[in-house]
Chain A
Amino acid sequence: MMDEQEPKKILIVDDDEGNCMLLARVIGDQGFKVFTALNGEQALKLVAQECPQVCFIDLYMSEGINGIEILRRIKSISRSTRCVVLTCADEEEKRMQARIVGADGYYLKPLDVDKIRQMVREYV
């Protein structure tokens, strides 16, 4: 017997471990099942394994595949996954690239508790 509905799965992709853990904590406190990935390879593996409903993706990754490419690949393997881009810099071209490859939203860092909750309300 299913006693409760499965919590929604959220994936956070950020090359900074501190940012990843803090974001995971605030989102996890709201009752979601949170996964974290520090690079594109980990992110794509988790998307294939866990099929998260929403991904929050840092646009700039210090190593490996960049955020736009991660987003494009996530959308190509799981079109229904909502992808929200997180970035420190508000650059028009990046917004456009993100939109073209299928971003559902775009949030500027730094994030605080209120902003994270707003983001979750809007996209999860």
Chain B
Amino acid sequence: MADKKKLLIVNDDMVADKSGTAHLIESLARRGIDVVVVANVDDALIQTKKTEFDLIITDISLKGDKTGLDLIKEIRKTDKQTKIFVATGFGDFYKQQAIEAGANLYFEKPMDLREHILAPLGLAEKPSIEKKEPAMAKSKVSLRRTVHDIGNKNNCTVMVSSILKNDVSEHLKKQKLSAETKELLDRVIEDLGDIYQAGKEADDLLKKVRETVYKQVDPDKLMVE
């Protein structure tokens, strides 16, 4: 198995968001990427001395008095090879300075998994099935669309039965109704409950179908313009 890729992210917000970052680290680890996240320039430099990273993504604005630009300048004193990207919320304001300091790429947040992490690390997806087997891909996408449409219609069933059940229940509480009407509405509520339940059960069955169909082809790769 190929060596794991090493990614250093320098971003104080991500360090603060412990659970979100832990989730991201775990997910990227499954894609073969070891991620270290630090909040400031000094911690980043400690990491770069310990580990040879394949990619460093830094913010401009960081905790402490040093910025992402200081980090790039410091790293570039000894290391001209490692890819360094700057992710910023400041538009193009620091672009010139970042590129002059030695950044390989400067981009506006949010980060894009494929464009800013997977592709630069050589882990971008293999050519889509559409290119290799167009007919097969077409039928799989068509099947997936059908599953998607069935799911949507079923969602409507679940939603509309729950809305109606709610409306009728409210109506029953507020209105003075004859015993006959009350009995009828109680039956309607019961029937709507059955429809709702059937929709939920249909969704459980659809989940199994989706697990198979969605794994075979990711429609997003074929649909993005």
Contact = CB atoms under 8 A, between A and B. Distances in A.
Contact of A99 (B24, B211, B223): B24
Contact of B155 (A93, A102, A109, A114): A109
A98 to B, nearest CB: 10
Interface in B137-170: 145, 148-149, 151-156, 158-160, 162-163, 165-166
Interface in B35-68: none
A25 B163 contact: yes
B210 interface: yes
Contact of A88 (B20, B109, B160, B210): B210
Given A22-B163, A89-B210, A113-B163, A100 B152 contact: no
Contacts of B4: none
Q: Tell me which of B89, B110, B219 has the highest count of chain A C-beta atoms within 10 A of its own C-beta.
A: B110
Interface string A99-124: 11110000001111110100000000
A60 B223 CA distance: 10
Contacts, number: 107
Contacts of B220: 60, 66, 68
A79 interface: yes
A116 B148 CA distance: 20
Contacts of B165: 113
A31 interface: no
Nearest to B116: A100
B158 A110 contact: yes
Interface string B200-215: 1001001100110010
Interface string B109-120: 111110001000
B224 interface: yes
Interface in B92-115: 108-113
Nearest to A58: B152
Nearest to B27: A96
Given A100-B24, A100-B112, A112-B162, A19 B224 contact: no
Contacts of A46: none
B85 interface: no
A44 B211 CA distance: 30
B151 A88 contact: yes
Interface of A: 15-16, 18-19, 22-23, 25-26, 60-66, 68-69, 72, 75-76, 79, 88-89, 91-93, 95-97, 99-102, 109-114, 116
